[in-house]
Amino acid sequence: MPKRPSILLIYTGGTIGMVKDFKSGALRAFNFDKLLQKIPEIKQLDCHIQTFSFSKPIDSSNMSPEKWVQIAEVIEKYYHTVDGFVILHGSDTMSYSASALSFMLENLSKPVIFTGSQLPIGDLRTDAKENLITAIQVASLQQNDEPIVQEVGLYFEYKLYRANRTTKINAEHFNAFASPNYEPLAESGVHLNINTKALRYPEKGTSLIVRKNLDSNVLIIKLFPGINQETIQTLFAIPNLKGIVLETYGSGNAPNEEWFIKLLDDAIKRGLQIVNVTQCSGGSVSMGHYETSTLLKKIGIISGKDITTEAAITKLMYLLGQSIENKNFKSIFETSLRGEIDN
Instruction: Encode pLDDT of 242-263 as tens digits.
Output: 999 999 999 999 999 999 999 9
Q: By percentage, how much of the chain surpasses pLDDT 70?
A: 95
| Nearest Cα residue to 342 out of 195, 156, 180 | 180
Give yes or no for a contact between 144 and 319, defined as CB atoms under 8 angstroms apart: no
pLDDT above 70: residue 36 = no
Beta bridge partners of 28: 19
Look up the CATH number of domain 6-210.
3.40.50.1170
Q: What pLDDT is recorded for position 23?
A: 73
pLDDT above 70: residue 265 = yes
Q: How many CA atoms lie within 13 A of 218 on its CB side?
A: 25
Instruction: Encode pLDDT of 121-149 as tens digits.
Output: 777 888 989 999 999 999 999 999 999 99
The Cα 277–Cα 309 span in angstroms is 7
Higher pLDDT residue, 106 or 14?
A: 106
Kindly report the CATH class assigned to 218-333. alpha beta
Beta bridge partners of 178: 167
The Cα 339–Cα 342 span in angstroms is 7
Mean pLDDT for all residues in the chain: 93
From the candidates 15, 115, 166, 278, give the one annotated as an active-site residue: 15
Average pLDDT over residues 106-122: 92
Which residues have CB under 8 Å from 196's CB, separation 6+? 148
Q: Which part of the chain is CATH 3.40.50.40?
A: 218-333
pLDDT above 80: residue 93 = yes
Beta bridge partners of 8: 50, 85
Q: What pLDDT is recorded for position 128?
A: 87
Instruction: Encode pLDDT of 287-333 as tens digits.
Output: 988 888 999 999 999 999 999 999 999 999 999 999 999 999 999 99
Q: At 293, is the secondary structure helix, strand, or coil?
A: helix
Q: What pLDDT is recorded for position 324?
A: 96
What does each C-alpha distance from 321 to 28, 108, 151, 208, 268 come to in angstroms? 36, 19, 22, 18, 18
Instruction: Encode pLDDT of 197-250 as tens digits.
Output: 999 999 999 999 999 999 999 999 999 999 999 999 999 999 999 999 999 999
Give yes or no for a contact between 139 and 86, defined as CB atoms under 8 angstroms apart: yes
Average pLDDT over residues 15-32: 71
Q: What pLDDT is recorded for position 322?
A: 97
Q: What pLDDT is recorded for position 250?
A: 96
Q: What pLDDT is recorded for position 104?
A: 98
| Nearest Cα residue to 45 out of 89, 7, 93, 79 | 7
Give yes or no for a contact between 94 and 65, defined as CB atoms under 8 angstroms apart: no
DSSP 178-197: E-TTS--SEEESSSEEE-GG
Please indicate, yes or no, whether the overall pTM of this predicted structure exceeds 0.85. Answer: yes
Q: What pLDDT is recorded for position 336?
A: 98
Query: pLDDT-based confidence at 33, cuts 50/70/90?
Result: low
The Cα 315–Cα 307 span in angstroms is 10
What letter would DSSP give residue 119?
S
Written as one letter, the residue type at 295 is L
Which residues have CB under 8 Å from 107's CB, separation 6+? 202, 203, 206, 207, 208, 209
The Cα 273–Cα 144 span in angstroms is 44
Beta bridge partners of 53: 11
Q: Which part of the chain is CATH 3.40.50.1170?
A: 6-210
Decide if 15 is catalytic. yes
Q: What pLDDT is recorded for position 217?
A: 98
Q: Is 288 left (phi over 0), alpha (psi -120 to 50) or beta?
A: left
pLDDT above 80: residue 1 = no
Q: What is the length of the chain?
A: 343
